[in-house]
Structure formats: C-alpha cells, structure tokens
Amino acid sequence: MLNITQILMDYEKEQTGITHVPQFSWTFESDKRNVMQQYYSLVIAKDAAFSEKVYESGKVESDASAQVEPENVILQSQKRYFVKVTAGAAGEEASCETSFVTGIMDNSQWKGAFVSAEEESDADNSKGTYVRKEFSLKGAVKEAFVSVTALGLYKFYINGKKVGTDELTPGWTSYHNHLCYQTYDVTEYLQEGANAAGAELGAGWFKGKMGFEGLEKRRNHYGTCTALLAQMVIRYEDGTEEVVVTDESWSGADAPVVFAEIYDGEIYDAAKEIDGWAVAGCKKGQWRPVRKIDYDLAVLTGQGSGRVSLMDEVKPVEIFKTPQGDTVIDFGQNMSAWIKVRAQGKKGDVIRLDCFEVLDSEGNVYLDNLRDAKESMQYTFGYDGDIIYQPSFTFMGFRYAKVVSFPGEPKLENFTAHAIHTKMERTGRIETSNPDLNQLMHNILWGLKSNFVDVPTDCPQRDERLGWTGDAEIFCRTACFLEDTYSFYRKWRRDVEADQTPEGGVAHVVPDIISGNEGDNWLLKQGSHSAAAWADVAVVNPWTMYLTFGDREILKIQYKSMKGWIDFMKNHAKDYIWNYKLQFGDWVALDAEEGSYFGATPNDLTCTAYFAYSTGLFVKIAEALGCEEDVKEYTDLYNKIVEKFQKTFYDENGEMTAQTQTAHIVALYFGLAPEEYREKTVAGLLRLLAKENGHLVTGFVGTPYFCHALSQNGHVKEAYELLLKDDFPSWLYQVKKGATTVWEHWDGLKPDGTMWSADMNSFNHYAYGAIGEWLVRVMAGLEVDEKKPGYKHSVIYPRMGGNLEYVDAQYDSVYGPVKCRWEDRFGETVLKVNVPVNTTATICLDGAGEIKDSDGLTFAEGEGCMKAEAGSGEYTVTFVRK
C-alpha cells in the first residue's frame, strides 16, 4: 500500500493569495521498508477536472518529493488553481490533489485606493471605524475572491458575515517597505441582487502606541489615519466578470470600539453599534464620505498563509478573592489571548477585565511588570439582555484577569480565553518519563505560541512586544521543531532585510520602530542596530530554515541580506576583532553585577565569536548555493577570525582569558577552541560549573548551547545534570515555581519570594526556551544531516541519561514523521525509530555493548558508537549499554 498523505505548498497545506508559484512537496505512507520515490508527475490546472492545464511536468524520474518548483507557469490574479501529484515507489503508484488561490499577481493591477473614515485630527486617537459599500450583482456567481489590507487592522465583512477566520490582519511588517494583503474565496458570501461589503478598522501597530519609554515618539510610527484597501473580483456563471474596489463611493462611520490598541486593550460601547451595518439596505447610523489616502501600492505583498488566528481555547480554572479583596480569574496558563465573555446585563452595565501575568508574593494582583501596558478590556451594555463579547484589535499577555466590573457575580462559565497567534501546524512533540521536563516542554511551546503573534516578539504583555532579533535568533531552532514556522519566518525575514541599514547593519528590533526614534532611551541612544547574537539572526535563521525544511529558496532570497551582515561586521572589525556601539552581550546573565543586565563575558569575545559563527554558516550557505567565489573569500575571512579569536581569548597556557561559563560555551560550540586546548576548555567549563554548584549563570549568548558544549565533548551526564537541576537558578526551578511559560530572568521570581525589578520582568519570554533544541537533537536524538537537510537523511542518535525511563519524540518533517522513542528497562535499551518514506537515516546506538535485536539492520562500530544505515520504515532495536 502506497499513499500520498498530503501535498504542501511552500511547506503549508493551504495557500490563499500567493503571487508566485509555490514549491511543492508531498509525503507518503507505506507499509513497506526502504521505499524511495522513483518518479513523479505534477499537474496544475484551472479546473478541478484538470482539463484546462497550465502546467504539466510529465513523468519525471526523480526521488525529489520536496522543493519541486514548476517553471514557466503563468498564473492569473485572484484565481483558484488545482494541483495533482502522482508518484511511483516500490512498484506502486499513488496520487493526491489540492488547490491554491492566487492574489493580485502584479501590483499595477490594483484598481482601488485606500479609504479612511478618519480625519487628520484623529491622529492621536485609536478609535474603531466602519467603512462600507453596497453593490448589486446581476446574476449567479461562479466564483469570487477578495484581496484586502489596511493601514491599521481590519475585519472584513460581506453581507453581515466576517470573511475568513484571520485576526489582527494585515499583521505587522515594515509597512513602508512591505505591507501584506490577504485574499479570500468569497463565492459563498455573495448573492444575486443587493450585497454589502464593509470593514471595521482599528489602530493596531500602524498608528497606535508602540514602543517604550524614552523613545522620541510612541505612536503613529507609520501614519495617522486607518484605511482600507480591497479589491473583489466576481466571475459570473455566464463568463463575464465584475470588480468591486474601495474608492470614494464608500462611506464611513465611527464603530462601537471607542478605543483599541495593542498594549492597552479595548473599550467597546455597544450603544454605538449600528444594526446591520454590513448588510445591504442599512438605513441606520450616521455615515459620512470616506477620504482617499495616498499609499505606495508597490509595497503590497500577497500573503498566502501564516496569518494570525484564534487558536486554543482555555477555560478558567478558578475565580478567587485576593487578600486585598480583588476578584481574580485564573486561567491556569500564561498566554497571548483574548477573553470571550458571556454575560447578562442592563443597558449601561460595564464589564471590565484587567489582564496580568502573575500574583505577587502575598497573592495579590501584580501589574507593575506590565509597565505602561494596560491590557484591559471594557464592554458597556447598549441594551438589556445576553451578550457575547471579545475584543478585536488588541491582544493580552496574561494568565489572570482582575474583574474590575461585572454585572452580577462572575462565574467560570462566563469566561473563555482564546489563545491568539499565527496559525501554524504543530510539527514536533517530546514526552519523557519526567513530568518536570514535560512541563518545561509545555512551557517552551506556550512561550512560542504567546510570542508568535505575527512577528517573533520578546514578550507578549508589557509595553514592548517587539521583534527583538536576539530572542528570535537563539530560539528559532527550537521553534522550527515545535511548529511549522516556514511562512511566519519567511514573512518576517523580508522585514529583517527591509530594515537593514545601507551598510548591512541589522536592526535590534524588526519591524524597526527604534532607528531614528531613539530619543533619550538610556540604552538605545547608544545604538539601534547591529548587536552580536541579535543581528546574527540575518544568517542563523535562514540557515536553520534550510536545515529544517531543506529549502534552498530561502537561502537564495536572503543571500544579499546575509552577505550584507557579514560584510558589515568585516568592515567594522579591527584586525578581526568585532565590536560595535551598543552590544547586549550575554544579556541578563547571572554573572552580571547586581542589578545589571549585562553578563560578565566581555563584548569583544561574544561579538567576535558570533562574527566567526555567522561567517562559518555563511560559507556553508554559499556552498549549498554553489557560490564558489564567496566560499573562497569567506572561508579565508573565517580562518582569520578564528585565528584572531584564539590568539586573543586564550593565554599561553591554553586557558581562556575570560573565566566565564559563556566564554567557554561559545568557544566549544562554535568550534573556536584551538584543538590542542579543547580538553582544557572543557575542563575549564566543568570547573566554572562546579564553582556554581552545578548551576548555570549564563545569559542569552551562553544558555542555548550550554548542554551542547557538554554533550559534544563527552559530558552527556553533566549535560543531563544541568538540565535537570531544579533549584535556583535552573530551567526546572521555574517549573517548580509553577511557571506555565518560560521566564525572561532566571531570578524573575527569587527563592525568597521577591521579584526582579518590575522594569523588565516578563514571565513569558521564549529566549531561554532555546534549551528545547538540545532536548530534540541530543536527548531525543533527532538530528538533521546538513548535507541532506529537511530530514532527507536523518541522524538518529539519542543520548540516554538523566535517569529517564523513556523519551518519545516525533517531528513531522517535509517528508513525513521522523520518530524516535527510547526506553531503558531491565538493563536493556529499546529504541523505536520511524524513518519517513523517500528518506534514509543513520541510526546510532549510544554506548551499545551488545545488540540483542537489530531488527534487520546491520550495525557496525562507527565513530564513538555502533551505527547502521536504514531506509524508510519502522525499526525496533534492543541493545545493552556498556
């Protein structure tokens, strides 16, 4: 039996609104082993019967079932295309179908204009507005598509119904360079005769308050008025077509959202609702003409997937009174979410909920760490009766909500939280016999969910929620395991490049609202771009995506940006020691001076280490793309940086000049330790670990690689010991303290119950969740082969330890599920592995003395362990460890 289980387009099941031919990939299932694809054919057609073909590959003898890129395909705008893949393997054949929808293929085809219901005098308010238009359709509709975007945020409606399930559209990008629009199939929304289309608009990232104290301006970063742009094509059964666009024939009005911003929440007055505003024939409301807003339509980009949506539903676990008498709802999970409220009240009654993350040491409401963000939602009844309300143009980072006002007694059934973040498929899972580790994985996953609200943010609660590049850089490998992040990162990467300085410097935050706006912020006035480990996201993230998906396309797209960043470092380095203006260094490490954010490892060292690391990756990237000249040039540069690093940061006895854990970690993990001093460097790291009683004192730079630096150098046992520490400071200390997401500081909540200063104390920062990649690559042993990325060839090499009885991991790769489960029982280790169809794997047995059952595989003594080469299929190997 051979099946094609799914076709992916640019690594997504669904693409609606793309303006390029996607890459195709498909996954198989088979009950046989060693199955490789022998041939495939791919057809793209305008109709589901495949009679109007626009592309036909013919039979292609190839084992490529990913990154298949049809060439010379001409696509029409706002049209559904049907795709069929047929493939043969192991003497059988299977096929599968899917479809995708195009956006507006060429921005010159936009016929309408942005229209606004706001005036310039509205620059400083963040109210909601409506824009609407009625139109008539002359006959039966065969198909219809609408492409929509906004300056601000929009919710689009046709005939009273919200179109699609996206939220917070069009998302946040470097708007002046890149503004996404979304396309929807609206065939089912339309009717013959009278119709109405409209949108509700909010300030969002575009004009609402964004950024923290000290910045020169904190609102109107991109403009002063919200506006809508839409273009709908309606194709009739009779073959004719019609287009409806936003223009001055639309009208506008104020909406019941009287205030909405990302940080502060939403205020909604139901008395201001206009009944039937999005339905044809509406006579209510005070409608006024809209104004056209000039905007460069050349920056519009069709977004096919990776949009924000309402995801998990979380029911509250408890409503209680604090010692200070506040009524508080506990949702049991820290998250980015909206609260949906069901309530009964009378006209004028008010519901107000203030969201927050943690209780203070006395169990009272703690708002201080939100700084200037209010995270409040308020609803005023416009009539007597039952209502359901949830906000629209904001999101909150919280576990708790304080009930400031509610008609009657609030009960659990009145509230549901809806996690809100970019819609991504869950791809990776790990479960172990240790509940604390499982909770850590849970916390890492929820850190991801909470901070993937359209851009990779540092935190979702305080007046920040910015695309800090360092956090994104260190966490992206873990993220790429847990969820299908392809569309999310591909969109954001475009902004990383758009916001690069002409010299190739990379902004600290992307989208960059800081450069040119530093004001008297004590930190940022020293520099708004190009910090080691932060800016290196320009190289590390595309490389990670290449490893994860096997996607060369992303390397091609980002090549100029990556090279620009390496050249920036090269041009600002002094004799290969790189350092530049504001550096965050080993940010929030515990070896910092009391109260300081800057860890003890010198910037020259962390900067130069990253200079070498990124340059080394860039060489591999140039190799993957066959850019021979660059391979030569940058290999030379790489060698010089490494030489300089070794001369500068090692003394004549082979000791590192900086006696910090992080210095040793990067020297080892980035491969910068001189070979003859490698052992000494390892010994140095162990010594520094012992000095802290087995605890880490590392920050953003050292933490992600601590366990790797140990396990790669013969100290798997010590890596597990570090991982499993559960007293302060450690990953599991947070777990023991009841964390449901990962904290920004090891000492966010100190053992004595006090907290790190409220000026920067998030309990939902994914950065330290970067340990997740060690759990995947080492504990569970799911590793990518750099030469055959995307798990076309996997290296399955789990390292047992930590007194774990079992570890069970699965990653749904581009080729299908790669699985590894190991169990230690009665002195034997049982390893169960799944290798996807059309891929191969090297299976490595950690410390195997005797193999009891090889399940048909041939193991031989390899470098450091017994190894076997495996084709696709499931295997169960039993062995005894030495």
Catalytic residues: 464, 744
Q: Which amino acid is at 331?
A: F
855 token code pair: 């399940």
Nearer to ligand BGC, 251 or 478 (CB): 478
Nearer to ligand BGC, 156 or 584 (CB): 584
Nearer to ligand BGC, 151 or 358 (CB): 358
Cα–Cα–Cα angle for 305, 311, 317, nearest 5°?
170
The b/e string for 850-879 (b: 16+ C-beta within 10 A; e otherwise) is ebeebbebebeeeeeebbbebbbbebebbb
Instruction: Residue 260: name the closest of 304, 315, 217, 205 by CA.
Output: 205
Nearer to ligand BGC, 100 or 584 (CB): 584
Q: What is the sign, positive or negative, of the torsion defined by CA atoms of 426, 845, 545, 790?
A: negative
Smallest gap, in angstroms, from Cβ of residue 483 to ligand BGC? 20
779 token code pair: 């504990």
Smallest gap, in angstroms, from Cβ of residue 370 to ligand BGC? 13
The residues of the shown chain that bind ligand BGC, judged by CB under 6 A, are 458-459, 464, 468, 470-471, 584, 587, 760, 765, 767
Cα–Cα–Cα angle for 134, 140, 141, nearest 5°?
70
Smallest gap, in angstroms, from Cβ of residue 627 to ligand BGC? 31
Cβ within 8 Å of residue 799, ≥6 positions away = 711, 716, 778, 779, 781, 846
Smallest gap, in angstroms, from Cβ of residue 357 to ligand BGC? 14
First-last CA distance in the chain: 40
Smallest gap, in angstroms, from Cβ of residue 263 to ligand BGC? 14
Nearer to ligand BGC, 612 or 767 (CB): 767
Max Cα-Cα span within the chain: 87
91-97: list long-range contacts, CB under 8 Å, 24+ apart: 92/1, 92/2, 92/30, 93/2, 94/2, 94/3, 94/4, 94/28, 95/4, 96/3, 96/4, 96/5, 96/6, 96/7, 96/26, 97/7
Smallest gap, in angstroms, from Cβ of residue 511 to ligand BGC? 15
Q: Mutual orientation of helices 603-624 and 661-669 as an angle, nearest 10°? A: 20
Count of beta carbons in the 10 Å neighbourhood of residue 757: 11
Q: In a 10 Å sphere around its CB, with 0-12 CB exposed, 13-18 middle and 19+ buried, how is residue 509 labelled?
A: buried
Nearer to ligand BGC, 533 or 641 (CB): 533
Nearer to ligand BGC, 531 or 658 (CB): 531
Count of beta carbons in the 10 Å neighbourhood of residue 765: 28
Return phi, psi of residue 694, to 5°.
Answer: 80, 10
Nearer to ligand BGC, 355 or 760 (CB): 760
Count of beta carbons in the 10 Å neighbourhood of residue 281: 8
Count of beta carbons in the 10 Å neighbourhood of residue 59: 12
Please tell me the number of Cα atoms within 13 Å of 494 on its side-chain side. 19
Smallest gap, in angstroms, from Cβ of residue 537 to ligand BGC? 11
Cα–Cα–Cα angle for 298, 299, 301, nearest 5°?
110
Smallest gap, in angstroms, from Cβ of residue 470 to ligand BGC? 4
Strand-pair category, 840-845 with 793-796 = parallel
Nearer to ligand BGC, 772 or 801 (CB): 772
CA distances from 866 to 184, 800, 851, 858 (A): 53, 14, 9, 10
Nearer to ligand BGC, 215 or 244 (CB): 215
275 token code pair: 């009944």
Nearer to ligand BGC, 297 or 535 (CB): 535
Q: Mutual orientation of helices 603-624 and 537-549 as an angle, nearest 10°? A: 40
Nearer to ligand BGC, 458 or 495 (CB): 458
Smallest gap, in angstroms, from Cβ of residue 523 to ligand BGC? 7
477 token code pair: 């490998």
Smallest gap, in angstroms, from Cβ of residue 604 to ligand BGC? 18
Helix (H) or strand (E) holding 867: strand 866-870
Q: What is the Cα–Cα distance from 83 to 81, expressed in whole angstroms?
A: 7
Taking the mean position of all CA atoms in its chain, how far away is CA 866? 37
Smallest gap, in angstroms, from Cβ of residue 517 to ligand BGC? 15
597 token code pair: 């954010």
Q: What is the Cα–Cα distance from 290 to 134, expressed in whole angstroms?
A: 14
Rg (CA), the chain: 28
Smallest gap, in angstroms, from Cβ of residue 700 to ligand BGC? 7
